[in-house]
Amino acid sequence: MTVTHFTKHYNDPGQVAAAARNYAWIATHAQPLRQPALTVVGPTSLTFERIQGRPAQQGDLSRLARLLGDAHGVAWASDLRPAALNMPHTFRDGTIFGDYVGTREVALHKRLEQGYLPDKIALHAMLALLEKTAEGPTAFYKDSNPRNYVITEDGTVFVVDTDDLTLAPFAYDLAKLIATLIMTYGPLPAGAADEALAAYNEAASRHDARLGTTDRERLNDFLALHSVLTAPYAGRNGYRYGWPFQRPRLQGPA
């Protein structure tokens, strides 16, 4: 069998080093996520084994939710247990993750500047929602959109793109997958999100009962955050359906 490769180019060596560190961290601490082999680390590029397959589709949601729950549980037990959601964390292998709150505060302020939030009242409402969700055990966020999964003909799932990892609450990345599947393919079948959440919770709870307690209200809070954070990408990168959820109520009291 001929092995082919894919080379991803970066703007500077710092970005290469960060992506390579993130790749190694996932390989060590989130083993359920299978990655293509990293074959060459260059000054401004990374070269991977090219995996032939398709991106994730809506029918894959429950399976991928179970995979994410398992990976988040493994990572928590292995290296994330002491991490706090409101501050960056340096792990035993030297990898530094951005925190959940600070990185998204910056992004939400930018969405106001870009016009995706109507005013400062709306911004403060979203910042309050962010603070509300910054509790509980710590998982990680890897941008679970359909293009970052490659599913081969025999059904093997690979994950790609380790450019950015941050800390995040459990099920936050599941919400990103749900949102972007809808943005890519249109509305989910009835009950699909609840089924995915149950699969995620079941997989995460196998590592500790506290990890599998995300309810639908909390998932909806994550979806509301994603609806604002992903707004600039609507109509780009295969997101044909725009925002998948109604914009949360952002106006102040009458």
pLDDT tops 70 at residue 19: yes
* CATH no. of 53-233: 3.90.1200.10
pLDDT, position 96:
74
- Phi and psi at 49, nearest 5°, equal -60, 135
Q: What is the pLDDT of residues 122-147, one digit of tens each?
A: 999 999 999 999 999 999 999 999 99
pLDDT tops 60 at residue 248: no
pLDDT, position 91:
67
Q: What is the pLDDT of residues 175-196, one digit of tens each?
A: 999 999 999 999 999 999 999 9
pLDDT, position 95:
66
- Can you say how many angstroms the Cα of residue 112 is from the centroid of all Cα atoms in its chain? 22
Q: What is the pLDDT of residues 199-244, one digit of tens each?
A: 999 999 999 999 999 999 999 999 999 999 999 998 888 899 876 5
Positive or negative, the CA dihedral 213, 57, 97, 208 is positive
